[in-house]
Amino acid sequence: MPRMQITSMYIAWGNGPEHLLPDTLAAVYNDGSVPMITWEPWRSRFGHSIDGLGQEQKVLSLIPTGIFDSYLERFADQVKALNRPLFLRFAHEADNPAYPWSPSGGNTPDEFKAAWQYVHTLFQRRGAINAIWVWNPWKASNAETWFPGKAYVDWLGVTILNYGPAHGGNEWYAFEKLYAPFHRLPLFRSGLPVMVAEMGSAADAGNQSRWLSDAFRDISLLFPEIHAQVFFNTAHDTNVPPGDSSRYIDWTIRQPMPVLTALNNYPRLHGPVAAIASISQITTSSTAVHHLLPDSIRGLLYQKGEEWFGNRHVLTRRETASDMQQMQQLGVNTIRRYGPGVYDRNVLAEAGSHGIRVHYGFWLPDVTDMDKDSSSLTRMQASILRTVAGRRSDTVITAWHLGNNAWQELSQYHFKPALLYQQQRYLQWLEGLAAAIKAADPSRVVTTDLHMYPGLPESMPWLRLQLPAIDAFGVEATGDTSGLSRLLAGNFPCFINRMPVSAFAKLPPTPAFLTNWQDLENRNFVSFDGLTDLQGRYKKDLHLLTGLWSHSPAQAPLPKVKILRPSRTTLPGSQLTYNALVSTGNGWRFTVPDTDRLRFEWYLVQTDGYGNPFRIQQVGEGWSLTLRVPEQPMHYWLYLEAAKDGSVSTDFSSLHTPLF
């Protein structure tokens, strides 16, 4: 058959050269294909080099002990040295009793997940970022139980084989029927690309060409999550079903030309065969001088008045001075301000007069494709360098920050291997920008941001090598913080770039820019992550942060409040009544006006199709609200503020009462 874009190979664990990557991979790449290694963790093939490994039992529980590390490290280093993408289908079909890494070998789902994560982490630590991890369950009913986590998987794999009546299949099963149970799983519609890693119909099952032609049609029309299919084109498959007297099964495609003709009818399923280029990486240490970021940073984001037109706040010197004074009393010594903007002069002057340093930031453009967006990045770089040249004499500025780093966000628009090339091109641009900033202003720190994910600590050595002009990395830890303690304890220049105050309070002293000083509102954007609300009143987190940073007794926050929704259907145009509840510490009650002395304010918040708020309107006051439900109520929230003595307690709610 003509060459395909993925070439499948099988390698068993063990000693000897046959258990490592073969020299033939160079020919695979030159032929325009990406190799896929199905990597099988057999115990017994290590011979006597590892004591007690003669039996094929409990291999998965042994992997995290480090007993196989010398083999794993050698294999990972081989993968890294390829400098090209390689699909790695590790421990495939771990729920299939035909394999000893399944329950038949004494292995459990938890042991599989721990082993997978251990091997994946080892590869990251060794810098083998070009490995593309393919997780392949056997049965759909077991998939969610054996899934090792989205942070550790690049592709979902499935085995779709029609054995036919001759090999225990009882009947001829169409592709659609075999794959449908996987398609129904939320995991298989979660955004991860799906690969049919073994696809075929036995040569003696009958109607082989029609089976494959129908499969191409179904993949194209019914299963958009499938982005690759690999023919299981072997003539001697010895893994025969129980009760089958055959010595082997022949899966070879008997009539290739009709199959390829059928494939060409569906453009989404095939593409041109192109050379697989090296992933261009920086592999030598930079001679640039690294500046240390102060470890005493107690910082907030100060974006008030960022877009002056249509903005709630006019950032006069008086208002800026008032904000700086309050932040100074809180213990803030540094602010992050993204620019350039019309209020830069006021902000820099008032920050300086209050002894507050400025970490001046540039919000980089969103990037979806490095080919399409390269011109906007070029323009942004020129604008940044003009600002650096114009502001480098401002002594209140202590660092330059490159925000909205798109290196991770590119995964929303591409999957590997294309993602590897997109990300590497972006890192090269980012490194060039950072180096140009340092050339224009050699005395200041240059930083950028990263989103926290479990594998980030292991990826940091490689990432630092790619970005030698970056002095420190700001970690946005607003979601999964697994691995954050390892990252902060490691030998990496990191600081918190954004994090809930309650989570930050549990960390040891750490330099941080935690959140916004104030909620923001302009003509097309509303945010609620400030320490103060739109009116400047103090929220609960500000009181908590006072105790952490100012080392003075924190004022007790107001009691929590909650919106009680009506148990009625939410229909546009109907009138529904919502009530405010006040926390008692172990329950909820209606407010007692003479005792609570809380002023309740109700706001209707409109969101776009992605759930982002862009408009806010006050719709009532008091302990209850009767609201006429707007059109498209799913695009609205209710926002409640309970105010007293310059502080507020807040709550959000959808307009409807969930039915589950």
From the candidates 198, 306, 350, 641, give the one annotated as an active-site residue: 198
Task: For residue 301, report the phi and psi dihedrals to the nearest 5 degrees.
Answer: -85, 135
Q: Pairing mode, if any, of strands 155-162 and 131-135?
A: parallel
Which amino acid, one-letter code, is at 563? I
How does DSSP assign 347-413, residue by residue? HHHHHHHTT-EEEEEEEPPP-S-TTTSHHHHHHHHHHHHHHHHHHTT-TTEEEEEEES--TTGGGGT
Task: Indicate the helix (H) or strand (E) that contains 329.
Answer: helix 317-330
Which amino acid, one-letter code, is at 4? M
Query: Are the C-beta atoms of residues 313 and 493 closer than 8 Å to each other?
Result: no
From the candidates 40, 56, 73, 93, give the one annotated as an active-site residue: 93
SS3 assignment, position 501: helix
CA distance 196 to 36: 12
Can you read off the two tokens belonging to residue 538? Answer: 């103090």
CA distance 162 to 167: 9
Q: Pairing mode, if any, of strands 575-583 and 636-644?
A: unpaired
Has 641 been annotated as catalytic?
no
Which residues are CB-neighbours of 169 under 8 A, at least 6 positions away?
162, 163, 205, 241
Half-sphere exposure (Cβ direction) of 597: Cα atoms closer than 13 Å: 5
CA distance 72 to 514: 39
CA distance 92 to 319: 62
CA distance 29 to 21: 13
Task: For residue 7, report the phi and psi dihedrals to the nearest 5 degrees.
Answer: -110, 120
Give me the sheet containing 226-231, strands edge to edge. 6-12, 34-40, 86-90, 131-135, 155-162, 194-201, 226-231
Kindly list the distances between the CA atom of residue 128 and the CA atoms of 7, 8, 131, 459, 601, in Å, as whole numbers in the listed order. 20, 20, 6, 10, 54
Which residues are CB-neighbours of 557 under 8 A, at least 6 positions away?
539, 540, 543, 544, 647, 649
Query: Are the C-beta atoms of residues 591 and 629 closer than 8 Å to each other?
Result: no
- How far separated are the first and last CA of the chain, in Å rounded? 53
Query: Are the C-beta atoms of residues 495 and 511 closer than 8 Å to each other?
Result: yes
Has 144 been annotated as catalytic?
no
Can you read off the two tokens belonging to residue 423? Answer: 């990300």
Cα 26 to its chain centre, rounded Å, is 32
User: Could you give the maximum distance between any two Cα atoms of the chain, in Å?
Assistant: 89
Q: Any idea how long the chain is? A: 660
Query: Angle between the 175-183 and 208-222 helix axes, to the nearest 10 degrees?
Result: 30
Active site residues: 93, 198
